[in-house]
Structure 1
Amino acid sequence: MKQAEINRSHPAVHTEANENLNNKSSKYSCPIEATLDLIGGKYKSIILWRLINGTLRFNELSKVIPQATPKMLTQQLRELENDGLVNRVVYPVIPPKVEYSLSDFGKSIIPILDSMCTWGTRYLKDFECD
């Protein structure tokens, strides 16, 4: 995001993308709120976590996230794609083949997901119900 901030504040650079960044940054009261907006959907963090190891097709994601309905999984994937965290590649074959992977920007969230996993593991261990 530092690069985006540099570009946005540089007087010689004024693009529609930078205008969108200005609009988004004014929408949030703090960086945590912005982060949660990007990864805080019901299945977004789980989708990102599953894509860490590589590309998956929709049905593969459905199998590893069985609690997500196809409609909800589609919605969450679209939001992640629109926010630039996930790449979606459609191959012109029949039946349709669509693959999802982390974008470079999406890969930047891996340390956060790793920390969430570590914290969650400790939480589950410390607060297990017998």
Structure 2
Amino acid sequence: MPVSKKEISPCPLDAALSIVDGRWKGTILWRLSQQPMRTSELRRSIPGITERMLIRHLQDLVRDGIIERIEELATPTRVRYQLTAYGLTLAPHLEALCAWGRIHLERTKPVNQK
């Protein structure tokens, strides 16, 4: 039986994947694992993402406790995002997935591009 996006599956893999599930969440997390970034910096660093989708994913990740939203006192107010201490525990796993992804991309390249 499929699990609703709002339900938490008892399967640990499903629980983990529910955090990074989404077209851009992995990329957002990867960027933030390198350094805290303002919303506009994140958007410029991820070609193709819309502002609406970026904000939606950021809100999801804040809600899940993976990243935190920090308002800087300035005029106008600046907002930056960074991984929480809990979110930092995800960084090694993102690195491992990225390494596997490189291998997979190489493996699936068309023969004439190898």
Normalising by the smaller structure, the TM-score range is: 0.7 to 0.9
Instruction: Identify the residue that residue 22 of structure 2 maps to in structure 1.
Output: 41
1:80 aligned to 58, 61, 81, which one?
61
* Runs of 4+ displaced beyond 4 Å: none
CA distance in 1, matches of 2:80, 2:8: 31
Instruction: Identify the residue that residue 60 of structure 1 maps to in structure 2.
Output: 41
Percent of paired sites with the same residue: 33
- Residue by residue, what CA displacement relative to the aligned partner does 1:33-59 show, whole Å, maximum 9, x if unpaired? 111111112211111100111110011
Instruction: Identify the residue that residue 20 of structure 1 maps to in structure 2.
Output: none
CA distance in 2, matches of 1:102, 1:33: 21
Q: How does 1:1-130 map to 2 (within 5 A)?
A: 27-129=8-110, 130=113
Q: How many residues align?
A: 105
Structure 1 or 2: more helix by fraction: 1
- Corresponding residue SS for 2:55: helix
> What TM-score do the two structures reach when normalised by structure 2?
0.86
CA distance in 2, matches of 1:49, 1:122: 18
Q: CA RMSD in A?
A: 1.3
Structure 1 residues not aligned, in runs of 5+: 1-25
What code does the residue aligned with 1:62 have?
Answer: R
CA distance in 2, matches of 1:54, 1:78: 18
CA distance in 2, matches of 1:51, 1:89: 13
- Corresponding residue SS for 1:98: strand
| Higher radius of gyration, 1 or 2 | 1
> What TM-score do the two structures reach when normalised by structure 1?
0.76
Whose RCO is larger (CA < 8 A, sep 6+)?
A: 2
What code does the residue aligned with 1:119 have?
Answer: W
